C-alpha cells in the first residue's frame, strides 16, 4: 500500500486583458458567462454546473472523463466555497477536487482585478495541498494557465 503523501505549493499567474476590470470580473460573477469559458468545452464532459456567487456561496462542477482517456467514465468533481468577494476587486475561494470519489487536492485561491492602462491586470494566486496521484502543483498550474487563456479567448469573443 502506498503511503499517503501531500505536497504543499504556492504559485502565481499574472495576465493582462484589454478589457475593463468590470468586464473581466463579470466573466467570473455571471453564471452563464463563467460556464462558457470555465466549465464547458474541456477535455472532460460537463454533467453538472451550479454557481452561487456570494460570500459563503458554493460552486459545483461535475465532469466525466471520456472513453478515450486513461480514466474512462470516471467522475471529476470540483467544489468551491467563496470566502470573500469585493466587486471588481478580488475573489477569494477554497476548492477541492475529487477523482472517482477520492479527494486529490484542496486549495485557497485569490483573484485580484487591477485596473491598468490597457484594461485589467489579473493576479491569480493558488496555495494548495496536492495528494498522491493528483498530478501535483505543476499540473494544476498548467490547468489554470489554460483556463486563463480560455478566458482571454472568451473576452475577445
Tell me the pLDDT tens digit for each residue of 68-116. 888 899 999 999 999 999 999 999 999 999 999 999 999 999 999 999 9
Give the tens place of pLDDT for each residue, 21-50: 999 999 999 999 999 999 887 778 999 999
Range 6-43 burial, b when 16+ CB lie within 10 A, else e: eeeeeeeeeeebebebebbbbbbbeeebbbebbbeeee
CATH classification for the domain delimited by 6-41+82-156, as one of 3.30.530.20, 1.10.10.1100, 1.10.10.60, 3.30.2350.10? 3.30.530.20
The answer on pLDDT for 53 being more than 80 is: yes
Which DSSP string corresponds to 66-122? -TTSSSTT-EEEEEEEEEEEETTTEEEEEEEEEETTEEEEEEEEEEEEEE-SSSEEE
Q: Tell me how crowded residue 129 is: count the other CB atoms within 10 A of its CB.
A: 17
Residue ranges covered by each domain of the chain? 6-41+82-156
Distance CA 32, CA 11 (A): 28
For the question of whether the overall pTM of this predicted structure is more than 0.75, the answer is: yes
Amino acid at each position: 500500500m502506498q503511503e499517503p503523501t501531500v505536497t504543499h505549493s504556492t504559485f502565481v499567474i499574472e495576465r493582462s486583458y484589454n478589457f475593463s476590470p468590470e468586464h473581466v470580473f463579470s466573466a467570473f460573477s455571471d453564471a452563464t458567462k463563467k460556464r462558457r469559458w470555465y466549465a464547458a468545452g474541456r477535455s472532460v464532459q460537463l454533467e453538472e454546473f451550479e454557481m452561487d456567487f456570494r460570500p459563503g456561496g458554493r460552486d459545483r462542477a461535475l465532469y466525466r472523463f471520456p472513453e478515450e482517456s486513461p480514466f474512462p467514465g470516471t467522475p471529476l468533481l470540483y467544489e468551491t466555497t467563496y470566502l470573500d468577494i469585493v466587486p471588481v476587486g478580488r475573489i477569494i475561494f477554497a476548492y477541492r477536487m475529487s477523482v472517482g470519489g477520492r479527494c486529490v487536492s484542496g486549495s485557497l485561491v485569490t483573484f485580484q482585478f487591477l485596473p491598468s492602462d490597457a484594461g485589467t491586470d489579473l493576479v491569480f494566486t493558488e496555495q494548495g495541498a496536492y495528494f498522491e496521484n493528483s498530478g501535483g502543483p505543476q499540473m494544476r498550474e498548467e490547468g489554470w494557465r489554460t483556463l486563463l487563456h480560455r478566458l482571454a479567448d472568451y473576452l475577445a469573443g
